[in-house]
Structures are given as structure tokens and as C-alpha cells.
Structure 1
Amino acid sequence: MERKQFLRSLMVGIISTPILWEACKKDSLDAASSEAVTDSGSGTSSSTCTAAPTETEGPFPTKTPSGYVRSDITDGRSGYKLTAKITIANSNKDCIPIEGAMVDIWHCDAEGNYSEYGGSGMQSTNYQSVHFLRGRQITDANGLVTFTSIFPGWYNGRATHIHVHVYNAAGNSLKVTQIAFPEGAGTAVAIVNGYKKGMSGYTYNAKDNVFSDDTTNSEVATVTGSIADGFNLTMKINVPA
């Protein structure tokens, strides 16, 4: 009788041990997710070789983009560091990387304001005389450009986003598009939490007038990192060249 009880207790211990381990592992992952994003989003304009969607430049395009050839576009704006790595590929040639393409990006600051505009209408704060969070880079042999910036804030009616305009080496426009950010629990958007504004009134991708028709998430970047170490965005944009 004692031997049966001993064997029964031994079997219970063997069965329960992996369950306890899985529970502990889940707790560790949940705790980590509140501090950092390790993998989020698709990071590509498409899973196949198709051109990225064409989107509006919006009401705040860079006025003279050729004057802002630089990789660090921060210009003293406060916010959590964001390193954006964008790869440009040719959708007409099996999506091989394009070397020598000009890539312009621009986005709002932590408070939702754009440089080069303001003082009336959509943006009451006047930033017409400054040029923060705007820049141009030339793609390398791998079709890559890298920008140092801050994590964008948000403004009424739009989800968090980055504008992109791609030109060929001759200066001809190839694509105007936008980059969306992953959303939901544990994502960078949730961790940043709209900076001081919070997320009350935020427009999510599904309701955004640009991204709402993106059913395959082809415009959503991969975003990793943390507030302490900064965030990293990667995106592949296929353009007809």
C-alpha cells in the first residue's frame, strides 16, 4: 500500500513539473513584453514582389527635400529614439535592391506637430521656420537607407505613421507612400502610449483613412526595441523602377 502511494505521488510530480515550467515561462514573457518589443509587424510592402500602395503626401510634405540630405533628422526634438532602416526594391525586376535611389521621409513630433507648417488651420503651433524630422538619404548597394529620428507622436484623425517619397537617381518620382506601425498590447505604439497625450482619441490603423484598406498589413513595418534602448523600425518598399 505504501509503495502504491509513493508511485502515485511520483507520477503527479512528473506530470505537474512541465506545467509549472510553462506557467513560469509565460509569466516571464508577459513581464518582458511590457518593457520591450522584440518582433512586431511585417516589415515589408508585400509578401510577394508587388509595388507598395501609393498614398497621399498629406498636407505637410517637405518643401525643399534636396536641402536636407542627412541621416540624423532629429534636429533637437525630444522623444524616444527611433532608428528607421528602409530598403527600396524594384517591383519590375523581381524586387532586387535599387542602388542610388533618393528616399525622403518626414513625420510629426511627439506632440503631433510638423515642421515647416503651422500658425493656422490644422496646426495652431507655428513651425514654419524650422525643419525637424525631415530628411533625405541615398540608397546603398543593398537598397538601404538609415535615419535616426524620434518615435512619432499622433494627431487627430491619423494613426502613427511616417511619410516616404522615393525618387530615382535622376530625380523622377517613383512612389509616394506611408509606413504604418503595429498596434495592440505589447507593441511600441502601446508602450510609448502617445507620450504625454495618451491614447484617448487615437485613430487606429483599422479606422485610419490611409491604412484602413490595408487588409494584408503590407504597409505595417517591423518595430522592435524599448523606451530605454530606443526603437528600431525596418521596412521594405517595392517601387516600379
Structure 2
Amino acid sequence: MQNHDRGFAHDLDTMMRRRMLHWLAVAGAAPVALLGCGGGGDDAGTTATTASTDSGGSTGSTGSTTTSCSVIPGETAGPYPGDGTNSNATGIVNVLTLSGIVRSDIRTSIGSASGTAPGVPLTVTLKLVNTASSCASLAGYAIYLWHCTREGGYSLYSSGVTGENFLRGVQVTDANGEVTFTTVFPGCYSGRWPHMHFEIYPSLASATSGSNDVKTSQLALPAQACNQVYGTATGYDASASNFATISLASDNIFSDGYSTQMATVSGDAVNGFSASLTVGIAA
């Protein structure tokens, strides 16, 4: 099964650039600021960032906070994108071509599937901004969001949910550059910090294959919200033990920095949560 939508060389280059920025940040803030003004490649941010880091442990706090927009790093789409770039057991799978995929509530499957993903309610708002134009809102872009179930499986791919396509959906950014999805809090599976995947497309018309995206990245969820859900909510039993063995420092995606990827989360496991993240691209 293909693990990367752009190939190993692209992912290696992305990781090497991000690790360079990380070590420069350890050495001092000034070199990072210079690289952020155009020395970091075609995805380099153009606005300064003020960040403070912790373990991502506060509900309602990002854990690693940015006060101005920066380009979000590109990440692998992973093995379960369902965007036409890889296969499941039956062949190439592409949920983007399904009627009804453009929707805000992604908890229920569409088309010939009819299942509903259970879990603690979660509303996710992504705000897309242009780092090359004073953080201006980007309207008219399409964002495809997907993530695992409370048990840690991915629809279309994982045992028990291969016939479902829930927890996947596309929305178009409004005049404020925002999209909002209604979903469930994802589980924590072995080896990964709790997260969500998303791809950004320049238009809805282009959102038909992962090969057309302008950015693929991931959103991280803060530790306090994860601990509350996994410690109290029904159906997240495996997540509690998996989460106890992972950290942001050991996660293979977020270990080299997560300041632009950690969502701000508020709410509780009884009434549900709201998560938000500002996503910067150089448009």
C-alpha cells in the first residue's frame, strides 16, 4: 500500500527542512526569523511568529501558540487518504469523487454506505490565510478533512469499516477563509499522537484527486482534551493505553515541531468539544 502521496523524496526533503528550522530555533531566534522571510523554500512564511511551547496539555490552549500566521508544514497524507492516490483491498479508492462528499457533518457515510461513526462530538474549524499577503483570508479554496474512528481505524481501509466512508468530507472556505466540520473526537492508535489529516485545493473543481492539492498537512489535538476523552468516554478504551505510550516528542510527524499544527480546543467530554486552527499557505 502506498504510504506517501508525493513520494519518499518529497517527504524526506520536507522533514530535513523542518529539522533544520528546529535546530536553528534551539541556537537562537534570529536565524529562524531570517529563514521565515524567504530562506526556507517555496513554502517559507512571510510573517514573524511568536511561539511558546509546552506539552500540548491545556484544553483551550494550543500548547504551542502562534500570534501571527506562518506557513503550515507539509506532511504525508499517510496510508489512508482515500483521495485517489493509493489503493485499499479492492483497488484505487477515491472518496472525493462520491456524490455528497461536500458536506459539513462527516459522521455518517454517503452513497451506498449508511454507517454512522460514534464518539464524543467535535466541531473543527479551519481558517485558511495567505502568508504572502498579510495573513489575508483565502476564500474559495476546498479543504478535504479525514481522520480515524474512536477505535483508531480509518473508513475504506481498516478492518470492520472498509465498507464505510464516514469521517471524510470536503468544504469550501467562505469569505473569512473558514470551513467547519462536525465530527467525533478521534481515537489514539499505536505509534501516533491524536491527529487529523487535511488537504487543501485551490478550488472545489480541482478537489478530485490528492495529486491536485497545494498543501497536505496534519492537525494535532492537545493532551488535556485527549486525556479527558480517553479517560471517561465510552468506546475509547484502547486509546487510553495507546496515548500513555506516545508523546509529541516521539511522534514521527510532530517531533520536529508542531507550533502551527496544534489546535485550540475547548469544551468537555460530556457536551462535546470545539477545535480551531489557523492554516497558513503562501498563495
**Which TM class, normalised by the smaller chain length?**
0.7 to 0.9
Select which of 98, 103, 128 maps to 1:70: 103
Residue of structure 1 equivalent to 2:35: none
How many angstroms apart in 1 are the aligned matches of 2:133 and 2:162?
Answer: 40
Partner of 1:60: 80
Say yes or no: does 1:193 pair with 2:230.
Answer: yes
Q: Bigger relative contact order, structure 1 or 2, given CA contacts below 8 A and separation 6+? A: 1
- Specify the code of the residue in structure 1 equivalent to 2:146: W
Which one-letter code corresponds to 1:212 in the other structure?
A: S
Q: Counterpart in 1 of 2:70?
A: 50
Which residue number in structure 2 is paired with residue 130 of structure 1? Answer: 164
Separation in structure 2 between the aligned mates of residue 213 and residue 38 of structure 1, nearest angstrom: 22
* Distance in 2 separating the partners of 1:158 and 1:176: 17
Pairing of 1:73-222 with structure 2 (within 5 A): 73-75=106-108, 76-118=116-158, 125-169=159-203, 171=206, 172-183=212-223, 187-193=224-230, 195-202=236-243, 203-214=246-257, 217-222=259-264
Tell me if structure 2 keeps the 8 A contact 1:162–1:179.
yes
Change (3 A) 1:201 1:91: same
CA contact (8 A) 2:69 2:278 kept: no
Structure 2 length normalisation: TM-score? 0.65
Instruction: Output the amino acid matched with 2:70.
Output: T
Q: Percent identity?
A: 39
2:173–2:179 Cα contact (<8 Å) kept? yes
What are the ranges of 5 or more consecutive residues in structure 2 without an aligned counterpart? 1-57, 83-93, 109-115, 207-211
Instruction: Compute the displacement of 1:201 (Å).
Output: 3.3
Separation in structure 1 between the aligned mates of residue 230 and residue 276 of structure 2, nearest angstrom: 20
Q: CA deviation at 1:43?
A: 8.5
Segments of 4+ in structure 1 off by > 6 A?
Answer: none
**Offset of residue 42 of structure 1:** 5.8
Amino acid in structure 1 at the alignment position of 2:253? V
Q: Distance in 1 between matches of 2:59 and 2:217?
A: 25
Q: Provide the secondary structure at the position in 2 that maps to 1:178.
A: strand
| TM-score (normalised: structure 1) | 0.75
The residue type paired with residue 64 of structure 1 is V
The alpha-carbon distance between structure 1 residues 201 and 129, as it changes in their structure 2 partners (threshold 3 A), is: closer
Change (3 A) 1:157 1:138: same
Gaps of 5+ in 1: 1-36, 119-124
In the other structure, the counterpart of 2:32 is none
